[in-house]
Amino acid sequence: MTECVFCKIVAGEIPSYKIYEDEKYLAFLDIYPSAEGHTLVIPKKHVEWVWEVEELGEYFEVVGKIARHFREVSRDIVRSNIDGWQVPHAHIHLKVGKISNPNPTKGDPQKLQQTLEKYKL
């Protein structure tokens, strides 16, 4: 889908801070992080809703792999939620810690790079 911002990230048309990537899935830092390590895990193939992902079990295995890695690195809780109304491309949020900023602002590139170095799988 050419107008989908996540599809543009997958295609390399928009830069991102890639936490994890394989042939089917991509995880990258949210540039408006509401919590430590705020990451979006998406299927590379465009589908609007999580329940439309063809291999849903495999998708959740990838999410679990990343979440376990975050917990190991941070020694804190890792929260997840499924959201889909802001960007019409299936995605799952992962966030470290108990606190979220309800009004996130654009992340500082240096801080995002440090977060990437800490959490990259």
Question: Which active-site residues does the annotation give?
Answer: 91
| CB-side neighbour CA atoms (13 Å) of 17 | 23
Pairing of strands 25-29, 36-43: antiparallel
